[in-house]
Amino acid sequence: MKTHITLPENARILVIKMAGIGDLLLATPTLRALRETYPHAQIDLLVTPASAGLLDGWEVINRVIVLDKYLFDYPQQLLTRPRNLLRLKTLWQDLHGGNYDAVLLLHHLTLPFGRLKHQLLLRATGAKWRVGLDNGHGWFLNVRVKDNGFGAMHEAEYNLAVAEAVSAQTSDKRLVVPLSEEDHRLAWQLLYEHETPQSIKRPIIAMHPGSGTYSTARRWAPERFAQLADTLYSDVGGQLLLLGGPEEAELHQHIMSMMHSEMPVRSMAGKGSIKVTAALLEQVDLFVGNDSALVHLAVAADTPTVAIFGLTNSQAWGPFPDAKADQQAVVVRLNLPCMPCFYRGHDLGTPEGCATRDCLALLGVDPVATAARRLLKHTKSEIKSHQP
């Protein structure tokens, strides 16, 4: 077993990151490190369908392989759905045919069945080097990086540590979403569909009151978002964009119905792809949202960001780079002794939190508004680039 190796210049590398959009974004500095260190390597990426298109057009990646990991979340799925076994056979052949020198696993080995899946995937490649985090269950890895638990390091830093185990480093730790001119054009069209850039009300404040479907318990109360919007409008004016997927349209309408100010507000629920949303975030002056992928999209867009955290682990999934070093990104959270209860230590914890969810229920509007005002003071409300 080793803790550090160097790969051939023309190595064939597979990176496994079967996660959502936010987690894949946190792997982009690692992918950049691999490309900068091994410019002649073949670098492939194994992802889920939900995040498969996020890095399209990025020259760092040679090939994206897609696996719907949710078809294999439980052992009985393999027994009751034989077709899933056929899909695994095809994937096995594909991975083995890649002739990889190294496979990098960017996952914690938290749950028993998850560990089994990861072991099978790594074995399927036939790669000489199997590199990943070891929390005591990484016996199938032969290049191991110490895993000290969720939050001991930021998830992006854990990913970079896996890259460093194969001698890959980068000084550029920014998150990346490769955007096309069409992405920028569509975002511009959404933002300025009823106004000219010169007449639009500034600052443009974007909020994401949702959290994706995995853990809706991460959501700050919708009435707090309504109160926050009213407070900021009283302070700085401007307009509000509510961001989210189509499943969050009803939530947006609920928030809009509770607002008492005259703040102009639009729901962008389901409008545009995730890349168009990233391009839209480049145009706004402030983003406020719950722990979700959109926090990381906003950071990648270099947009001043207020991230609201409750039961989840802000040390692991807060804005990256560290909010302390980058005053463009701020985490607002309480400091209760029970926090976090989701992804704590080496355990999954409780995705739905406790019955009262005091970590979010007791978080008032004032600290979030204070953080938002502080960031807006340093924001130049100006028309940004990519005008069609």
The string of pLDDT tens digits covering residues 11-47 is 999 999 999 999 999 999 999 999 999 999 999 999 9
Q: Is residue 3 part of a domain?
A: no
User: Domain check: are 153 and 259 in the same one?
Assistant: no
Least Cα distance to 49 among 26, 29, 24, 74 occurs for 24
Per-residue DSSP letter, 150: B
Whether residue 7 is contained in a domain is answered as no
What pLDDT does residue 83 have? 62
Question: Does the pLDDT of residue 91 top 90, yes or no?
Answer: no
- 3-state SS, residue 115: helix
Q: For 214-228, what is the mean pLDDT?
A: 93
- pLDDT confidence tier of residue 324, bands split at 50, 70 and 90: very low
CATH number, domain containing residue 83: 3.40.50.2000
Chosen domain end from 164, 192, 224: 164
Q: Is residue 129 domain-shared with residue 210, that is, in the same domain? A: no
Amino acid type, 30: T
Encode pLDDT of 260-278 as tens digits.
999 999 999 999 999 999 9
**Cis bond before residue 82 (omega within 30° of 0):** no
Residue 11 confidence (pLDDT): 98
- Mean pLDDT score, 198-210: 90
Q: Decide if 383 is inside a domain.
A: no
Model confidence at 80, pLDDT cuts 50, 70, 90, reads: low
Does 143 lie in the same domain as 118? yes
Q: Are residues 255 and 344 in the same domain?
A: yes
Q: Which structural domain range is residue 270 located in? A: 181-377
Same domain, 56 and 203: no
> Does 387 fall in a domain?
no
The pLDDT-based confidence of 75 (bands split at 50, 70, 90) is: low
Q: pLDDT at residue 383 above 60? A: no
Residue 2 belongs to a domain: no
Tell me, yes or no, whether 74 lies in a domain.
Answer: yes
Whether the bond between 319 and the residue before it is cis, its omega within 30 degrees of 0, is no
- Count other C-beta atoms under 10 Å from residue 259's C-beta: 18
Q: Look at the chain and report how many structural domains it folds into.
A: 2
Asked whether residue 191 falls in the same domain as residue 141, the answer is no
Two tokens at 348?
Answer: 């999954």
Residue 78 is predicted with a pLDDT of 52
pLDDT digits (tens, 9 = 90+) for 143-166: 999 999 999 999 999 999 999 999
pLDDT band, very low/low/confident/very high, at 322 (cuts 50, 70, 90): low
- pLDDT confidence tier of residue 323, bands split at 50, 70 and 90: very low
Q: How many residues does the chain have?
A: 388
